A and B are shown apart, each in its own frame.
Chain A
């Protein structure tokens, strides 16, 4: 598998995972009722990637909304990235938030406090 892609929907984000380039992007809304089912294939793709990591892994998270059910799954994604970082790939998580969205910035900081991977908070101008 070289690329793992999921088209976004009103309740789920676009996901692009380029396993050759080591770039993972999650963009849009993540408010599905059943988030475990939605994130399971991505968790599996990360597991595959962790056995053949690239020297650098760049992660871009740009979410407009996410529900608490997704927040647990996003944490699981970040825990996989923590493992990938330990396995020798330099992981950076770029957490995007809109200029006036303090809640989204705070959510990113909550993850930063839990996950042992470098985070960069990126402000986006609307």
Chain B
């Protein structure tokens, strides 16, 4: 692998931060801190900074919980993930990629599509309903993450599943955060 190629590609895509590997709680603490300091150094508008931070926490913790759950379901699955945070002009981009077990896709996809079908007001109601009635996983994932991300970004969730083999696919999520 030519690391300079990787560097140039990241440079071309305005990447501020990139990671590949196993996602741990300590890693996330560091990433949140790094991004907070970066945005302070860029003198980012407090509203945008708050929004980016909030969404970053939600996306990466979603990823963390997902990887935790699938490794309980199947110990052999690759727990490695990738994510990047970029900034182009005044917009921030967060992209994540991780493996997902094929049999989990249809339920997950219908959930994403449901979120994408809702208007701003409907998302607010759906959030409240899920908050009040939804079941929580034993560590505290509650299915609110994607609804929250859609609410905070004001945009549809841009996702893709790439089938790797008959067991797993690679899931990518592409989030744009603008200061509207």
Point out residues on A near B: beta carbons under 8 Å. Answer: 10-11, 31-37, 65, 67-73, 75, 100-101, 103, 106, 110, 113-114, 126
Contacts A110-B124, A114-B131 given: A67-B33 contact, CB under 8 Å? no
Measured in the bound complex, the distance between the Cα atoms of B61 and A100 in whole Å is: 26
| B interface SS class | helix
Measured in the bound complex, the distance between the Cα atoms of B145 and A75 in whole Å is: 16
Q: Is the CB of A75 within 8 A of B57?
A: no
The reply on B25 being an interface residue by CB < 8 A is yes
Measured in the bound complex, the distance between the Cα atoms of B53 and A37 in whole Å is: 23
The count of chain B contact residues (Cβ–Cβ below 8 Å) is 33
Across the interface, which residues of A come within 8 angstroms of B75, CB to CB? none
The reply on B152 being an interface residue by CB < 8 A is yes
Interface residues of B in 8-55 (CB under 8 A from A): 25, 28-29, 32-33, 46-47, 50-51, 53-54
| A interface SS class | helix
The 8 A-B pairs with the shortest beta carbon distances in the complex, nearest first, are A68-B144, A69-B140, A35-B140, A36-B140, A34-B139, A72-B142, A68-B148, A31-B57
